[in-house]
Chain A
Amino acid sequence: MPKVNVIVVGNGMVGHHYVEQLTASAVDAHITVIGGETRPAYDRVHLSEYFAGRAPEDLALTTREHYREIGVDAHFGDMVARIDRDNKKVITENGQEYCYDKLVLATGSYPFVPPVKGNDLPPCVVYRTIDDLGMIQVQANNGKVGVVVGGGLLGLEAANAVQNLGLETHVVEFAPGLMGVQLDAGGSGMLRRKIEALGVKVHTSKATQVIEENSDGEGRVVMRFADGGSLATDMIVFSAGIRPYDQLARDCGLTVGDRGGIEIDYHCKTSDSDIFAIGECALFGGRIYGLVAPGYRMAEAAVSQLGSDKVSFQGADMSTKLKLLGVDVGSIGDAHGKAEGSIAYTFSDERVDVYKRLIVSADGKKLLGAVLVGDCSEYDTLLQYFLNGIDLPADPETLILPTNVGGAPALGAAALPMTATICSCHNVSKGDIVNAMDAGSCSLGEVKSATAASSGCGGCAALLKNIVDDEMAARGLEVNKAMCEHFNYTRQEMFHIIKVETIKSFDELLEKHGTGRGCDICKPTAGSILASLWNDYVLDDKHVGLQDTNDTFLANMQKNGTYSVVPRIAGGEITPDKLIVLGQVAKKYKLYTKITGGQRIDLFGARVQHLPAIWQELIEAGFETGHAYGKALRTVKSCVGSTWCRYGVQDSVAMALYVENRYKGLRSPHKLKSGVSGCTRECAEAQSKDFGIIATENGWNLYVGGNGGMKPRHAELFATDLDDETLIKYIDRFLMFYVRTADRLQRTSVWMGNLEGGLDYLKQVVIEDSLGICDDLESQMNAVVGSYQCEWKTTIENPEKLKRFRQFVNSEAEDRDIIFVEERGQPRPATEEERQQILATPA
């Protein structure tokens, strides 16, 4: 199939989501984006944080560079002027023409400005784009008073922005109450009480008739209302609803609604089947969906029409939970109780300003709607009742009563149907979670990485945990924690046993706490713990049988039984002389060489009997082992930092060298990687590491729990602006806590996912020392650091150990089954076919 040419008009949140979904799909498309704003898509939902100090780039959802990298042809700051449907092309205001096979209109909406005389005076602004925020900032300068026209969701967001600018803030609403769409009168009244307590002045039932320049007294303009009142102000922000940008569609004859909006069907197609409309410009079932989540679902439905697996957009639930001016507000379904015969339950507590209301069907069985103001803790449970039509308890009021008077506990996970949406950020249903567990995920952390559930806003974390626990129990998986048939313990328990009883060998451990003879599961685990705790030489007689072949031969076994050799190149820094030695050694022993992702050089194809000689030469040149074979600290990647780079603010190489040399050889439950970047440009990709360090003007930011690999994960910000000493202290504690408590082969990300309380708990343990173990963690780390030895150096100095590095105990012959062929000037293992051919050819 030829590439399909897709043009996306508009690069707001929904337009951008469409691009992301399409590039991630199997559809072979060439995408052109035309965005009217000068900057690529950004997070409009959190716009008011701009005034709380978030820079425009922090709000960005993508960059021009990113679009370029994924092959999207993007043009910003140019608007589409018209659509030529006959010739299937669009023409921009700058005169550019682009042809399409499929056209996607994601033009969004614009703020409604009431038709009032004087609404075009300079202090009158709107609240919609980052550029609008610039205008608001200009108008706010030297002003004292700001008025927001509009008491709905967007108006209150704008009021938050105005208050953040330090202005006396007024909200003027035409209707009798705030958030009239989402709240009933009681809820609206409570919201008013709460935001007035925060210093916002609220004026409802006010119709503005004219805005005039103010010649005398305070304020640049004065608003005059129909009831005779007036209000002087320095700025007026209109945020009284949205209107779809549908002019392009009107001009080319597409069907639009009576009150605006481009009409679409279940497939998000307009009246022209090659043109889609998504987001706030689209009208579905007579309705404009002014929230981002339904827009995302439209984008996904529209993308699916280009592939084989088509999904439809069926409308969307408009229930919302949000914080407005710091007040929790939740609205579910039929908040006004419009359904015939519906029954309402109301709870109001004016001491703490909490209001809750349930709307229940006439038979009392189903939840139809709810309003929550001041406390949204029941929102998730109520939403599940509503979305899934779950039967209510006999006394529905218990759902909103305080628990001290007999309120009901949260809805049990087992009661939820498979279709129940658990994580709305990533659209993960209970069914998806159960499927992930069927496919082998059997811990909270694994389910999180398999489904992405709870990795967005995190609001569903508690519910997710309940479902995972419940499913585990349902499967009779009383989570068999036994590591293998020889030990009825988890790795963490084994660690504690070895530490508390000062056990020094596997035989002792087996005798006291295990059965049988051990196996390839428990032996390496015990070997790793013994190394973490006592740091003995891993090839010591009593430990040698515990090690995987990679640890035994201090190299990485490859598919044909040869090994690869990775000397440590701390921080990726290497002298020309050392580089030459690597080349010479590789040449001499006919090794394939490749640069690794961790800024080292991997030498492949070493026969077991050559390993000591190879290492002899490497050690003489000043190299030491890189522990690429061990579950241990691998590399600390770095950029050149402030020494060379024009942008660097700290010496990232020196820090990387220090960190790598400190933790090298630390045996851990899984491999560990790190990175140090010299500035926020993050060239060392530290945020993809188990622990990553990024320089700031004032020190270092520490990130933890990232990884690449099959399920990449970004590390999370752990602490900011640390000095060198504190940074190392926190890493010591973090690593040793991980070494002590993680399960076998559990990377830091999954380990953190499984910690009850997650990142916050980890911060308490490591930063606040909530368990009182930090001294112990640090001294254990110091002991490991102090007893470091290069295992290869120890090995080549010990003739007894070198005996092991022979192909045959009784001959000097080579393994004739290891055969190489040459490719691109280097050796590689022969394929099975090539090997058979070569073996069959007489010498």
Chain B
Amino acid sequence: MTSTLKDQAVTICRHSDLIPNSGICADVTGQQVALFYLPNESPCVYAIGNWDPIGKANVLSRGIVGDIGGRLIVASPLYKQHFDLVTGECLDNSDISVPVYAVELVADHVLLKQ
């Protein structure tokens, strides 16, 4: 197993837990993390905070993913603001952002840096 995150990372779930072109949520020591699996992209997994700072609920993992102007995004299922999966920035309001986490799919393991 080779990984750039290997030393600091933990396995939070298996490849088979991921849902293609959609999101799931993981509990990482009390933090809710939204994990997105985009099999046609490289890299193919992305992790951001699950808390929607505008809708004020833990829902981002349940949004629709896609791209806006080439930037990979998830649309909040509450009020439809778009968050960049790579930077965490809110495209509709640049003052707002969500945390992003380093994540990697290595063999069957989804590794997240804490």
- Are A809 and B64 CB-contacts (below 8 A) given A552-B22, A559-B57, A817-B58? no
Are B20 and A809 closer than 8 Å at their CB atoms?
no
Give complex CA distance A608, B41 in Å. 28
Partner of A485, one of B19, B27, B69, B78: B69
Choice from B20, B35, B63, B78 contacting A559 with Cβ under 8 Å = B78
Contact of A809 among B35, B38, B67 (CB under 8 A): B35
Report yes or no: A810 in contact with B27, Cβ–Cβ below 8 A.
yes
Q: What would 26 A/B residue contacts be, using CB atoms closer than 8 Å?
A: A485-B69, A516-B66, A516-B70, A517-B66, A518-B67, A519-B75, A520-B82, A523-B66, A544-B22, A545-B65, A548-B64, A549-B64, A552-B22, A557-B62, A559-B55, A561-B78, A608-B62, A807-B25, A808-B27, A809-B17, A809-B26, A809-B35, A811-B26, A811-B27, A813-B27, A832-B56
Residues in A neighbouring B38, C-beta threshold 8 A: 517
User: Distance in Å from the Cβ of A738 to the closest Cβ of chain B?
Assistant: 25
B73 partner residues in chain A, CB cutoff 8 A:
519
Nearest chain-B residue to A816 (Cβ)? B30
Minimum Cβ distance to chain A for residue B12 (Å): 5
B87 part of interface (Cβ distance < 8 Å): no
Contact yes or no, B13 A520, CB < 8 A = no
Residue of A nearest to B23 (CB): A545
User: Please, which residue of chain A has its CB at the minimum distance from the CB of B24?
Assistant: A809
Contact A557 to B78, CB < 8 A, known contacts A803-B17, A808-B25, A809-B17: yes
User: Closest approach, in angstroms, between the C-beta of A819 and any C-beta of chain B?
Assistant: 11
Interface flags, B1-39, vs A, CB<8A=1, else 0: 000000000001100010111101111000010010010
A561 CA to B66 CA, complexed, in Å: 21
**Which of chain A's residues have a CB closer than 8 A to the CB of B64?**
519-520, 523-524, 545-549
| Chain B nearest Cβ from A126, distance in angstroms | 64
Assess whether B57 is in contact with A560, with CB atoms less than 8 Å apart: yes
Question: Which chain B residues have a beta carbon within 8 Å of chain A's beta carbons?
Answer: 12-13, 17, 19-22, 24-27, 32, 35, 38, 40-41, 51, 55-59, 62-70, 72-73, 75, 77-78, 80, 82
- Which of A517, A804, A818 makes the CB contact (< 8 A) with B24? A804
Nearest chain-A residue to B11 (Cβ)? A810
For chain A, residues 787 to 843, give those with C-beta under 8 angstroms from any C-beta of chain B.
803-804, 806-811, 813, 815, 817-818, 832
Flag if A557 contacts B72 (CB, 8 Å): no
Residues 427-449 of chain A, each 1 if its beta carbon lies under 8 Å from chain B, else 0: 00000000000000000000000
Known: A519-B66, A522-B66, A806-B25. 14 other contacts (CB 8 A): A516-B66, A517-B41, A520-B63, A541-B20, A544-B20, A548-B64, A559-B55, A559-B78, A561-B55, A809-B25, A811-B26, A811-B27, A817-B51, A832-B56
* Contact assessment for B19 and A557 in the assembled complex, using a CB-CB cutoff below 8 Å: no
Q: Are A815 and B62 in contact (CB-based, < 8 A)?
A: no
> Considering the chains assembled together, what is the distance between the CA atoms of A516 and B68 in angstroms?
8
* CA gap between A553 and B59 in the complex, in Å: 12
Q: Which of A485, A811, A813 lies in contact with B68, CB distance below 8 A?
A: A485
Q: Which 4 A-B pairs have the closest CB atoms?
A: A545-B21, A561-B57, A520-B75, A549-B77
Q: How far is the CA of A589 from the CA of B66 in the complex (A)?
A: 35
What does the 1/0 interface line of A519-563 toward B look like (CB < 8 Å)? 110111000000000000000010011111110110001011100
A517 touches B32 (CB 8 A): no
In the complex, what distance in Å separates the CA atom of A522 from the CA atom of B67? 11
Bound CA span A459–B33, Å? 59
**Number of A-B residue pairs having CB atoms within 8 Å of each other in the complex:** 102
Q: Which of A484-543 contact B (CB under 8 A)?
A: 485-486, 516-520, 522-524, 541
Q: Please, which residues of chain B bring their CB within 8 A of the CB of A818? A: 57-58
B72 shortest CB reach to chain A, Å = 7
Number of residues in A with C-beta < 8 Å to the partner? 38
Q: Give A residues with C-beta under 8 Å from B.
A: 485-486, 516-520, 522-524, 541, 544-550, 552-553, 557, 559-561, 608, 803-804, 806-811, 813, 815, 817-818, 832
Which residue on A lies nearest to B35, using beta carbons?
Answer: A809
With the chains together, A519 CA to B58 CA distance in Å? Answer: 21
**Chain A: which residue is nearest B14 at the CB level?**
A809
Distance in angstroms from A561 CB to nearest chain B CB is 4
In the assembled complex, the Cα of A804 lies from the Cα of B17 at a distance in Å of: 9
Q: Interface residues of B: mostly helix, strand, loop or mixed? A: strand
Contact residue among B17, B67, B80 (Cβ-Cβ distance under 8 Å from A517): B67
Residue of A with least CB distance to B40 = A517
A522 CB contacts on chain B under 8 angstroms: 66
Residues of chain A with a CB closer than 8 A to B59's CB = 549, 557, 561
A516 to B65 Cα, complex, angstroms: 12
B37 (CB) vs chain A CBs: closest residue? A545
With both beta carbons as reference points, the residue of chain A lying nearest to B22 in the complex is identified as A545
Which chain B residues lie closer than 8 Å to A806 at the CB level? 24-25
Smallest Cβ-Cβ distance to B18: which chain A residue: A809
Inter-chain contacts of A546 with B (CB < 8 A): 64
Select which of B24, B67, B78 is within 8 A of A519 by beta carbon: B67
- Cβ of A815: which chain B residues have Cβ within 8 Å of it? 32, 58
Distance from A310 Cβ to chain B, minimum over Cβ atoms (Å): 41
Say yes or no: A545-B20 contact (C-beta < 8 A), given A520-B80, A524-B64, A557-B62. yes
Shortest beta-carbon distance from A623 to chain B in Å: 24
Tell whether, in the assembled complex, residue A810 and residue B26 are in contact, meaning their CB atoms are under 8 Å apart.
Answer: yes
Across the interface, which residues of B come within 8 angstroms of A807, CB to CB? 25, 27
Partner of B72, one of A485, A517, A541, A832: A517
Q: How far apart sit A675 and B84, CA to CA, in the bound complex (Å)?
A: 44
CA distance A687 to B43 in the complex (A): 54
Complex-state Cα separation, A520 to B24, whole angstroms: 17
Q: Which residues of the partner chain A approach B78 to less than 8 Å between Cβ atoms?
A: 557, 559, 561
Which among B19, B26, B55, B75 is the interface contact of A808 at CB below 8 angstroms? Answer: B26
B58–A544 contact, CB under 8 A?
no
Chain B proximity of A61: nearest CB distance (Å): 43
> In the bound complex, what is the Cα–Cα distance between A557 and B77 (angstroms)?
8
Identify A810's interface contact among B13, B55, B68, CB under 8 A: B13
Cross-chain contact A804 with B63 (CB below 8 angstroms): no
A807 to B59, CA, bound (A): 10
Asked if residues B58 and A549 are in contact (CB atoms below 8 Å), the reply is: no
B57, B62, B64, B65 pick with most chain A CB within 10 angstroms: B64
Give the docked Cα–Cα distance between A519 and B21 (Å): 11
Question: In chain B, what residue has the closest Cβ to A544?
Answer: B22
A residues less than 8 Å from B19 (CB atoms): 544-545, 804
Interface-central residue, A524, A809, A817, A832, by most chain B CB under 10 Å: A809
Residues of B within 8 A of A832 (CB): 56
Residues of A within 8 A of B62 (CB): 549, 552-553, 557, 608
